[in-house]
Amino acid sequence: MMIFAEVLLPLPIDHPFTYSVPAKLEDRVQKGGRVLVPFGHRRLTGCIVGFSQQPDPQIKIKEIIDVLDETPALNPSLLELTRWVSHYYFAPWGEVLKTVLPGKILPVARRFLRITEEGQRALREGRVRGEQERAILSLLSARSRMSQDSLWKRLGPSSGKGPSLTVLLEKGWIEWEWSNPPLPGEGEEGRISLRGEGPSSGPVSLTPAQREALDQIVETLERGKFRVFLLQGVTGSGKTELYLRAISAALRQGRQVIFLVPEIVLTPRIIEQLKTRFPERVALLHSGLSSAERLREWHRVRNAKVDIVLGTRSAIFAPFTRLGLIIIDEEHDSSYKQEDIPRYNGRDVAIMRAKLTDSVVILGSATPSLESYFNVQRRNYHLLKLPHRVRGLPLPPVEIVDLRRERPTGSSPSLFSGVLLEAMEQRLMRSEQTLLLLNRRGYAPFIQCIDCGFVFQCLNCDLSLTYHRTDRTLRCHYCGLRLKVSDSCPQCKGVRLLPFGLGTQRVEEELREMFRGARIARLDRDIARRQGNINSILEGLREGKIDILVGTQLIAKGHDYPRITLVGVISADLSLNIPDFRAAERTYQLITQVAGRAGRDNLGGEVIVQTYHPHHYALQAARHHDYEGFCERELEYRHRLGYPPFTRIIVIRIEGPNQEKVQEIAHYWGELLQQARKGMGEQVEILGPTPAIRLKIRNKYRWQILLKSPRSKLLSDLIRSVLVKYDSSACKNPNIRINIDVDPLDLL
């Protein structure tokens, strides 16, 4: 009897395709294994997700060409996980497959045309009649092979296409040739060496809190049961040491480990320590790898040559079969959320993967997200606390400077309060280091004509352009547009154009004027675009070659340098004033994290936060290192307004090039949702449709509808039913995209 396989392909399609299995491959096909199949003009690699009965005999079924795996690429729990991600995040299953097995892991073979011996002869002997046939043969005889597309491109738009090709193929003058079929890539043993030659740190003794936390983790690992620990440890409390010991314990059990960090380039210390403690057992998986490197690392993981994977968000899909422990460092970090399809949160996927594999999860942070804190209260997660820094070091005192009371000394108000200035001077005298945080890159967020009020705006987005003084450009931070700054106002031709507001470049410039001779550096996305830049800055900090480092939130992440004794926050109000219900939480996290960089050694440290809202509870909580106090206050506010974690949110974003059409479809969606909601009572709240706060980005207008409900299942059922109605309605517009964002972190 013939076998049929359901093959999932890496396409934006939600269902698998049916292929028949030729007899010679019957013994080798398996669920989760990769196979090569014909698809249109290509041969694609997909994954078998199941087997089926004889399908509808009317439908023509194609055959699987080859089997690429002896060991399945997707083990059963990983396959199950892809299905969950697809369902939960409203992402086509095929797109999820592409995320889990990216690039060369799912190779594509293309079809080319080439001229045959017979064709060459016919051309030489002038036996080719049709003009177009002759043109095709001449083109092909000049090169070894051509794709069909490039052939038609060369022949020009008016060419009749189809018929001549068929004629030539039938005569045997040309033939199809496939690009090298994708290789399984087994046995590729190349390896990315982990950089960093840090000396092996001697045995560290644990604090009592570390010891107690470790005991609980180890005990759970030994029982081999699913459990989530929330490790809330103040900055410098030795979370990393705890991670390393937990990893050892998991390895002793013969289990494997996935370790996620928000950003690889900013965590050289963790890489170094993993390499020293577990030589030859770590693979790296992150977006900075070339596709060949990624493929190699993937094979090492799949073939169990390593048992630890360190990586960013997508490393949660590492193809381990004996997973036992997942560590998510800085679990509150928003970079765990992917903004493109599938819009998953790596942290939440980790919990699901752990559930499917009976693994232990450690979510670590000095400032865990409110969602995780809430899960502890609901007894879903188990709390482990490290309330003190190691070696008895104190947390740095935090001073809040009320900018309303600052008197400008010169003509214009300074960026730095008197207190901050004095503190920086002291550090320079003592050759200690200062970190200055300003969470906005560029020189100034906008340039305005002070005669007519004109503001330079992006042509593609409805947003002002940020002034970058280093190369005198105006840049859009959303679409990347760059313009040279003009000398006069495009509206009134006036020449009084002034930069307004603050960016890191301006802080850097003012510092250079104020502290001549001081060694000043800057770290933000503009600088961090080159890995080399980051390395030299981190090295500069370590070796004391930098006196003052100014930067965006990149400087708040994980750095641990003994000579940093002062941290200044230029303006806490930047993040506080963002119109998002998470603004207070983000501000609290950012300030606590950056404050944590100070006083990591015996030199002590101090933190100075400048603001116009000195009494805001987020700042007060950061000042008193009071995580729980902050959470309680914030939970009250979220509860009152019905925001997460008390509800789940899904945002439906309607995007398209024509504003009226977008608005029309948004309203149509609003109606469909209202209709479908009838009978659900108060359980689902629908806000909108309204224009998004960032109305236009990359030439696409955006409207949105926000749905809230304490019951997540209700919410997704509602949307699923509306999707079906919309897809079959006459109003459906192919130029308009409906983006569904589940548990969104960005509401602008």
Tell me: does residue 699 bind Zn ion (CB under 5 A).
no
Tell me: does residue 695 bind Zn ion (CB under 5 A).
no
Q: Which stretch binds Zn ion (CB under 5 A): 416-424, 460-468, 565-573, 665-673?
A: 460-468
Which CB, 481 or 514, lies closer to Zn ion?
Answer: 481
Residue among 451, 462, 601, 717 that touches Zn ion (CB under 5 A): 451
Residue 410, burial from CB neighbour count under 10 angstroms (0-12, 13-18, 19+)? exposed
**Residues paired with residue 690 on neighbouring β-strands, in sequence order:** 704
Residues 289 and 267 sit within 8 Å (Cβ to Cβ): no
Applying CB under 5 A, the site for Zn ion has a residue count of 15
Tell me: does residue 490 bind Zn ion (CB under 5 A).
no
CB of 486 to Zn ion, least distance (A): 11
Number of helical H runs and strand E runs in the chain: 22, 31
Tell me: does residue 457 bind Zn ion (CB under 5 A).
no
CB of 487 to Zn ion, least distance (A): 12
Tell me: does residue 460 bind Zn ion (CB under 5 A).
yes
DSSP code, position 175: E
Which CB, 166 or 488, lies closer to Zn ion?
Answer: 488
Two structure tokens written together for 728: 């079959």
Tell me: does residue 465 bind Zn ion (CB under 5 A).
no
Q: How far apart are CA 297 and CA 243, in angstroms?
A: 22
CB of 523 to Zn ion, least distance (A): 24
Which CB, 167 or 481, lies closer to Zn ion?
Answer: 481
Two structure tokens written together for 290: 């070339």
Tell me: does residue 651 bind Zn ion (CB under 5 A).
no
Which CB, 124 or 482, lies closer to Zn ion?
Answer: 482
CB of 700 to Zn ion, least distance (A): 11
CB of 569 to Zn ion, least distance (A): 28
Residue among 165, 218, 260, 458 that touches Zn ion (CB under 5 A): 458
End-to-end CA, the chain: 56
Where helices occur in 358-455 by DSSP H, the ranges are 370-377, 418-429
Which CB, 449 or 736, lies closer to Zn ion?
Answer: 449
C-alpha distances (whole Å) from 492 to each of 33, 302, 457, 472, 615 are 66, 64, 16, 21, 43
Q: What are phi and psi of 125, to 5 degrees?
A: -85, 5
Residues 6+ apart with CB under 8 A from 587: 572, 575, 576, 616, 618, 619, 622
Tell me: does residue 204 bind Zn ion (CB under 5 A).
no
Mark residues 585-614: x for contact with Zn ion by CB under 5 A, - for none: ------------------------------
Q: How far apart are CA 735 and CA 493, in angstroms?
A: 39
Tell me: does residue 476 bind Zn ion (CB under 5 A).
yes
CB of 477 to Zn ion, least distance (A): 8
Tell me: does residue 462 bind Zn ion (CB under 5 A).
no
Tell me: does residue 748 bind Zn ion (CB under 5 A).
no
DSSP code, position 345: B
Which CB, 476 or 541, lies closer to Zn ion?
Answer: 476
C-alpha distances (whole Å) from 731 to each of 23, 182, 471, 664, 711 are 47, 42, 47, 9, 29
Two structure tokens written together for 727: 């897809």
Helix/strand/coil for 145: coil
Cα dihedral sign, 184-186-189-192: positive
Tell me: does residue 491 bind Zn ion (CB under 5 A).
yes
Q: Which stretch binds Zn ion (CB under 5 A): 285-293, 368-376, 474-482, 547-555?
A: 474-482
Residues 6+ apart with CB under 8 A from 701: 655, 656, 657, 658, 659, 662, 663, 691, 695
CB neighbours of residue 446 within 10 Å: 18
Which CB, 492 or 693, lies closer to Zn ion?
Answer: 492
Residue among 449, 541, 719, 738 that touches Zn ion (CB under 5 A): 449
Q: Which stretch binds Zn ion (CB under 5 A): 69-77, 203-211, 482-490, 705-713?
A: 482-490
Residue among 306, 351, 489, 549 that touches Zn ion (CB under 5 A): 489
Q: Which stretch binds Zn ion (CB under 5 A): 112-120, 125-133, 268-276, 485-493?
A: 485-493
Residue among 178, 478, 612, 617 that touches Zn ion (CB under 5 A): 478
CB of 544 to Zn ion, least distance (A): 40
Q: What are phi and psi of 542, to 5 degrees?
A: -65, -40
Which CB, 495 or 687, lies closer to Zn ion?
Answer: 495
CB of 503 to Zn ion, least distance (A): 17
Tell me: does residue 52 bind Zn ion (CB under 5 A).
no
Which CB, 471 or 671, lies closer to Zn ion?
Answer: 471
CB of 492 to Zn ion, least distance (A): 3
Q: How far apart are CA 416 and CA 431, in angstroms?
A: 20
Q: How far apart are CA 314 and CA 99, in angstroms?
A: 7
**Residues paired with residue 328 on neighbouring β-strands, in sequence order:** 260, 363
CB neighbours of residue 58 within 10 Å: 5
Q: Parallel, antiparallel, or unpaired for β 256-260 and 308-311?
A: parallel
Residue among 461, 598, 607, 665 that touches Zn ion (CB under 5 A): 461
Tell me: does residue 541 bind Zn ion (CB under 5 A).
no
CB of 498 to Zn ion, least distance (A): 11
Which CB, 313 or 700, lies closer to Zn ion?
Answer: 700
Which CB, 451 or 510, lies closer to Zn ion?
Answer: 451
Q: Parallel, antiparallel, or unpaired for β 3-8 and 42-52?
A: antiparallel
Mark residues 399-438: x for contact with Zn ion by CB under 5 A, - for none: ----------------------------------------
Helix/strand/coil for 454: coil
Which CB, 458 or 538, lies closer to Zn ion?
Answer: 458
Residue among 183, 452, 455, 748 that touches Zn ion (CB under 5 A): 452
CB neighbours of residue 40 within 10 Å: 7
Helix/strand/coil for 490: coil
Q: Which stretch binds Zn ion (CB under 5 A): 57-65, 153-161, 478-486, 665-673?
A: 478-486
Which CB, 476 or 570, lies closer to Zn ion?
Answer: 476
C-alpha 282: how far from its chain's center? 22
Q: Which stretch binds Zn ion (CB under 5 A): 103-111, 301-309, 459-467, 713-721?
A: 459-467
Q: How far apart are CA 227 and CA 233, in angstroms?
A: 19
Q: Parallel, antiparallel, or unpaired for β 17-21 and 3-8?
A: antiparallel
**Residues paired with residue 399 on neighbouring β-strands, in sequence order:** 608
The helix-helix angle for 76-88 and 346-357 (nearest 10°) equals: 140
Tell me: does residue 479 bind Zn ion (CB under 5 A).
yes
CB of 660 to Zn ion, least distance (A): 21
CA angle 393, 259, 580 (to 5 degrees): 75
The helix-helix angle for 76-88 and 93-100 (nearest 10°) equals: 130
Which CB, 96 or 465, lies closer to Zn ion?
Answer: 465
Q: Which stretch binds Zn ion (CB under 5 A): 190-198, 458-466, 631-639, 738-746?
A: 458-466
Tell me: does residue 454 bind Zn ion (CB under 5 A).
yes
CB of 505 to Zn ion, least distance (A): 19
Q: Which stretch binds Zn ion (CB under 5 A): 6-14, 231-239, 283-291, 484-492?
A: 484-492
Q: How far apart are CA 658 and CA 701, in angstroms?
A: 7
CB of 577 to Zn ion, least distance (A): 22
Q: How far apart are CA 227 and CA 360, in angstroms?
A: 5
Residue type, 348: D
Helix/strand/coil for 664: helix
Interface residue list for Zn ion (CB under 5 A): 449, 451-452, 454, 458, 460-461, 476, 478-479, 481, 489, 491-492, 494
